[in-house]
Amino acid sequence: GALSLPEAGARPVEDLESYRGVWVFAEWRSGVVHPVSRELLGAGRKLADKRGVELAAVLLGHRIEAAAAELLDYGPDVVYVVDHPELARFTDETYAASLVELARRHKPEILLAGATTMGRSFIPRVAALLQTGLTADCTDLDIGENGLLLQTRPAFGGNVMATIVCPNRRPQMATVRPRVMKPAVDRRNGRVEAVTLPERCFEHRVEVLQVIAETDETAKLSEAEVIVTGGRGLQKREHFRMVEELARLLKGAVGASRSVVEEGWIGPSHQVGQTGQTVAPSLYMAIGVSGAIQHIVGMQGSRIIVAVNKDPEAPIFDVATYGVVGDLFQFVPAFIRKVKEE
């Protein structure tokens, strides 16, 4: 059915000029700021300077002084902190209500968040409540000549890059995937501002009873410095073990193409690409992966890419630093032997 927002049509034209400043929603886990927030503050600083406005980080949680102090290192002019026991655990309702209340009060012109599990979950709700647009999964952000936020992201299966603007609503909202933007480096003389919100912001109908951490170490793809990815060229589940063994030997994580995930050789948390994770390790090995555009958009930021494929025309070689044209069943066991010797 059609999506209808309450009062969407009835809303008066906004006074766009009354909105000022660039905001970054700052995510944290166990008291430590998520790397994507630092990356967003790096991107946000450029946007704020171009617009000649303040850069703010918004931190929601409970007992989060350490995260607030850490955020100051990443160069915001101000960190707005909402500290409340009900924010100790993330829920869509409380986080959305709090961020919406803050945005209504302070009226930022731009609001950015990470395209993490958390951001993907509650940021669309924030955009809907503020009755503004949202561009998800941006890979580039800039300010256009007319002062609008240019939000660039892959479209049509990664075949074109679309640049999207939000001319008539504020804030202009975008989520950005982790590891796409360069992390902020400069500290400024930023300040922390504690904000008190009305109790209704902390009401929620959903109760989180338990959080079970992912125990599968190899699924920590986005943090890994080395990733060994297997594709359909491995032919069956048992052969995929070679990739897992090589990843272990190189102290890296295991990646997979979507074909491999669909075959059920490994879980979806290992998938790299447009509908999987975006990664940018120091070393990315692609074994028996053809290099479909939907795969390449998720790994082309890697520093060194090694591709092993028997087809010299495979598109993975277009992005590879080193290409091994040959049979993976010869190369991989020999390579594993060599690594063990070292």
Q: 18 labelled as ligand-binding? A: no
Q: Which is nearer to ligand FAD, 83 or 263 (CB)?
A: 263
What is the rounded CA–CA span in Å between residue 42 and residue 100?
A: 23
Residue 320 CB, nearest approach to ligand FAD (Å): 12
49-75 as b/e: b if 16+ CB within 10 A: eebebbbbbbbbbeebeebbebbbbbb
- Single out the residue of 56, 58, 60, 172 nearest to residue 111, CA to CA: 172
Residue 15 CB, nearest approach to ligand FAD (Å): 40
Q: 24 labelled as ligand-binding? A: no
Q: Which is nearer to ligand FAD, 40 or 314 (CB)?
A: 314
Binding mask 235-264 for ligand FAD (x = CB under 6 A): ----------------------xxxx----
Q: 194 labelled as ligand-binding? A: no
Q: 290 labelled as ligand-binding? A: yes
What is the rounded CA–CA span in Å between residue 143 and residue 112?
A: 14
Q: 189 labelled as ligand-binding? A: no
Residues 312-331 that bind ligand FAD (CB under 6 A): 314, 327-329
**Is residue 273 close enough to count as binding ligand FAD by CB under 6 A?**
yes
Binding mask 112-151 for ligand FAD (x = CB under 6 A): ----------------------------------------
Binding mask 60-99 for ligand FAD (x = CB under 6 A): ----------------------------------------
**Is residue 267 close enough to count as binding ligand FAD by CB under 6 A?**
no
Which DSSP letter does residue 18 get? Answer: G
Which DSSP letter does residue 87 get? Answer: G
Out of 275, 282, 321, 333, the only residue in the binding site for ligand FAD (CB under 6 A) is: 275
**Is residue 198 close enough to count as binding ligand FAD by CB under 6 A?**
no
- Tell me the two tokens of residue 220: 């920590």
- Single out the residue of 101, 110, 104, 99 nearest to residue 171, CA to CA: 110
**Is residue 310 close enough to count as binding ligand FAD by CB under 6 A?**
yes
Q: What is the DSSP string of 243-287?
A: HHHHHHHTT-EEEE-HHHHHHTSS-GGGBBSTTSB----SEEEEE
Q: What is the DSSP string of 139-177?
A: SEEEE-TTSPEEEEEEETTTTEEEEE---SSSSEEEEE-
Q: What is the DSSP string of 302-340?
A: -SEEEEEES-TT-THHHH-SEEEES-HHHHHHHHHHHHH
Q: Which is nearer to ligand FAD, 187 or 237 (CB)?
A: 237
Which DSSP letter does residue 66 get? Answer: H
**Beta 28-29 vs 191-194: how paired, if at all?**
unpaired
Residues 156-175 that bind ligand FAD (CB under 6 A): 157
Q: Which is nearer to ligand FAD, 204 or 232 (CB)?
A: 232
What is the rounded CA–CA span in Å between residue 279 and residue 181?
A: 12
Known binding positions for FAD: 232, 257-258, 271-275, 288-295, 309
Known binding positions: 232, 257-258, 271-275, 288-295, 309
Interface residues with ligand FAD (CB under 6 A)? 157, 231-233, 257-260, 271-276, 288-290, 292, 294-295, 298, 308-311, 314, 327-329
